C-alpha cells in the first residue's frame, strides 16, 4: 500500500498547514468508560477534521503532475470537500463540490468559505458522487475521488503521529466512511511492525462495509440514513475493502443512540464536541468495554464539524432523527 518513506515524503506537504495533533488520555474518559483511552484529536486541524491531510497531498501532487489542470470536482458530505477546498485555495486550484440535498448547512457554509463552488444533488453521498463524475466529463475537470492513494498517504500521517507516540496501544477504534482513515491506520501499523489491533466502526444504519467484509466482496446497501453523515456510505470502495479485510481485527456496528451517547460522554470528559462520525469510535469502545479490561486503547476523534441544530439535540439528551428521501 505504502511505506514509511511515502509517509516521510508526504509529511512536509501536510506540515505546511497542519501541525501534529495531540493525543491525550483523559482521566474523566477513563472514569466514564472503565478503560484507559487515548483520544487522537483530529478535530484540531484547520478544517476541524483529519481529511485536510489527504486533500493537501492530493492537490499538491495533482498540481505537480498536471500544472495546467483546469480544476477539480468531487462529492462529499462535508469534510472531504472542505479538505479539497482548503488545499485548492492554498494552491490556486478551482474546486467544485457536490453535496446531497439536506447536507449539513454548517459544512456547506464552510466549503463555500474556503472558496468552493457548491452544488446540491441527490439523496445521499453515492448519488452526489455520480453527479460529480458527470460534471467532470461535461466541464473538463479532474474528478477527485474520495478514496485515492494520495488521499490515503496524506491522512496516514495522523496514524503515524499516534502510533509513534503510543506504540504500546493494544487496540485502536477507527471510523469507516469510504475507508481512507482506516486504510492509513492499517498501513502505518504494518509499516511500523506493530501488533496493535485495528477495529473499524460503522453505523448500524450505514453498515455496507460490515456486510462487505463478511461477504468478501462489495455489498451495496439501499440506504445510509444515519445522522453521522461522515460514515453514511452505501457503496464501499473495492480497494479500501480489501485493505480492511486483510488488516482490521473486526468491524463493529453502533446505533444512533449509542453515537449520540458517545458525543455526550466525549463532551463531558474532554470538552470536545465530536460530530457523529467523530464519535462512532468511542461508541464502539464503550460497546466493547468489557473485553478491554487491562488493555490500552485509542479512539480517533476524526472531526468536530457538527451541525448546530443536531448538536443542540444531542447535548440536550436526545438522538437526531434523519429524514428519509421521501420526507425531504
Beta strands in 131-266 (DSSP E): 142-143, 171-175, 197-203, 250-254
How is 191-230 classified by DSSP, letter by letter? HHT---EEEEEEETTB-HHHHHHHHTS----S----S-GG
232-259 confidence digits (pLDDT tens): 999 999 999 999 999 999 999 999 999 9
- The per-residue pLDDT for 125 is 87
Per residue in 91-132, pLDDT (tens digit) is 999 999 999 998 989 999 999 999 999 999 998 888 999 999
| pLDDT tens sequence across 64-79 | 999 999 999 999 988 9
Mean pLDDT along residues 215-238 = 94
Tell me: pLDDT of 328 over 60: no
Share the mean pLDDT of the chain. 95
Tens-place pLDDT, residues 151-162: 999 999 999 999
d(CA 232, CA 136): 23
What domains are there in the chain, each with its CATH number? 4-50+151-327 (3.40.50.1100), 51-143 (3.40.50.1100)
CA count, 13 A, side-chain hemisphere, 107: 31
> 120 near 99, Cβ under 8 Å?
yes
- Tell me which H or E stretch contains 74: strand 72-75
How much of the chain is helix, strand and coil, in % rounded to 5?
50, 15, 35
Q: Name which of 94, 103, 109 is nearest 129 in CA terms.
A: 103
Cell 451495496 identifies what position?
220
Q: Would you place residue 323 in the very low, low, confident or very high pLDDT band (cuts 50, 70, 90)?
A: low
pLDDT at residue 326 tops 90? no
Reduced to 3 states (helix: H, G, I; strand: E, B; else coil), residue 101 is: coil
pTM (two decimals): 0.95
Amino acid at each position: 500500500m505504502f511505506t514509511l518513506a511515502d509517509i516521510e515524503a508526504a509529511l512536509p506537504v501536510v506540515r505546511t498547514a497542519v501541525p501534529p495533533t495531540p493525543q491525550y488520555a483523559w482521566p474523566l474518559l477513563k472514569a466514564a468508560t472503565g478503560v484507559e483511552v487515548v483520544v487522537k484529536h483530529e478535530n484540531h486541524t484547520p478544517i476541524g477534521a483529519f481529511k485536510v491531510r489527504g486533500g493537501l497531498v492530493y492537490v499538491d501532487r495533482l498540481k505537480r503532475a498536471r500544472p495546467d489542470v483546469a480544476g477539480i470536482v468531487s462529492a462529499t458530505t462535508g469534510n472531504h470537500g472542505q479538505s479539497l477546498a482548503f488545499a485548492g485555495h492554498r494552491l490556486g486550484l478551482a474546486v467544485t463540490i457536490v453535496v446531497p440535498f439536506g447536507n449539513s448547512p454548517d459544512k456547506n457554509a464552510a466549503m463555500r468559505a474556503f472558496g468552493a463552488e457548491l452544488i446540491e444533488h441527490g439523496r445521499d453521498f453515492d448519488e452526489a458522487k455520480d453527479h460529480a463524475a458527470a460534471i467532470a466529463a461535461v466541464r473538463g475537470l479532474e474528478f477527485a475521488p474520495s478514496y485515492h492513494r494520495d488521499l490515503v498517504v496524506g491522512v496516514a500521517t495522523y496514524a503515524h503521529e499516534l502510533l509513534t507516540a503510543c506504540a504500546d496501544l493494544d487496540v485502536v477504534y477507527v471510523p469507516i466512511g469510504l475507508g481512507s482513515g482506516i486504510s492509513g491506520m492499517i498501513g502505518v501499523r504494518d509499516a511500523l511492525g506493530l501488533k496493535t489491533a485495528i477495529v473499524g466502526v460503522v453505523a448500524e444504519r450505514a453498515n455496507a462495509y460490515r456486510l462487505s467484509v463478511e461477504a468478501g466482496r462489495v455489498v451495496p446497501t439501499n440506504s445510509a440514513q444515519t445522522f453521522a453523515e461522515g460514515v453514511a456510505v452505501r457503496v464501499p470502495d473495492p480497494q479500501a475493502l480489501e485493505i480492511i479485510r486483510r488488516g482490521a481485527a473486526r468491524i463493529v456496528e453502533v446505533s444512533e443512540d449509542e453515537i449520540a451517547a458517545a458525543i455526550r460522554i466525549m463532551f463531558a470528559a474532554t470538552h470536545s464536541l465530536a460530530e457523529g462520525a467523530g464519535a462512532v469510535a468511542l461508541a464502539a469502545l464503550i460497546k466493547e468495554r468489557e473485553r478491554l479490561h487491562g488493555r490500552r486503547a485509542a479512539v480517533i476523534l476524526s472531526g468536530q464539524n457538527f451541525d448546530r441544530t443536531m448538536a443542540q439535540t444531542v447535548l440536550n439528551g436526545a438522538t437526531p432523527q434523519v429524514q428519509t428521501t421521501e420526507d425531504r
